[in-house]
Chains A and B, each alone.
Chain A
């Protein structure tokens, strides 16, 4: 498998796993608080909606000329990836609270238990909409990543295989433990996804703009190394700055 395709599968797998862990937390909260029938109905309806989005957009993307597609996809991934990376760096340096799946689960569960009863078409409406919205919103990010990565690299099936692998793993573990996957190193995974998205974004946007990478696909490794190194340096700088800020605040208090 080429460097580009290996990165493609790995990125689709990681990004999908992160989103699926978050979707699982919401479905579990809906199921435990409002009953499994409504939660699974919401999960099923959202899955159908996502499948329709993939079926409609997937073939449409394959008819766009590759250079134009890489320019648009690269620019989108770059903006999208920088959002992930910025949040990950802020979390790693202490400027933003770490993502806590247990706390999110407890909050969703409390809200779901406190909501009033409203039954429509035989299902609990709150549980249905909670699971539907959660899976749809997290799933849209998976669809976006799979379609953009897959089409720009010329292989939507490979990207879909990475996402399917994540689905099997997260769903399997979720069914086995029936609890939010708090032990998953989610913050580290989000950092990795931000690095991957930004790397692919730089690579494809530059190609789409007419630049030639020395070494072709193999230069993806160089871009990844540059993004990783730069991000780690930024984390280090900001962490030191944060520590100084806290120390100064302590001394003043």
Chain B
């Protein structure tokens, strides 16, 4: 069990890293892009703006916890 937990932890650290909120916000932004695109509205602009916002939020969190 501890090996399985270590394996899971390794992949969590590898992909998600220090800030889990980044993964949650990125998933939400991709979901929003899919919803807008499904409504036949141009959706390409949404993700770059969302990423800028996510980066800013994550940087503030990193600085606060430093």
Contacts and interface: CB of A to CB of B under 8 A. Distances in A.
B4 interface: no
B63 A86 contact: no
A227 B62 contact: no
A206 B54 contact: no
A76 B27 CA distance: 10
B20 to A, nearest CB: 10
B30 A205 contact: yes
B27 A75 contact: yes
B17 A211 contact: no
A211 B44 contact: yes
B22 to A, nearest CB: 5
A86 B59 contact: yes
Chain B, interface residues (CB within 8 Å), range = 20 to 34
A79 B34 contact: no
Interface in B2-42: 14-19, 22-23, 26-27, 30-31, 33-34, 36-38, 42
Interface in A70-117: 71, 74-76, 78-80, 82-83, 85-86, 89-90, 95-96
Interface string A219-231: 1000100110011
Contact of A210 (B27, B34, B58): B34
A191 B22 CA distance: 18
Point out which of A82, A198, A201 has the most chain B C-beta atoms below 10 A from its C-beta: A82
A211 B55 contact: no
Interface of B: 14-19, 22-23, 26-27, 30-31, 33-34, 36-38, 42-44, 46-48, 51-52, 54-56, 58-59, 62-63, 66
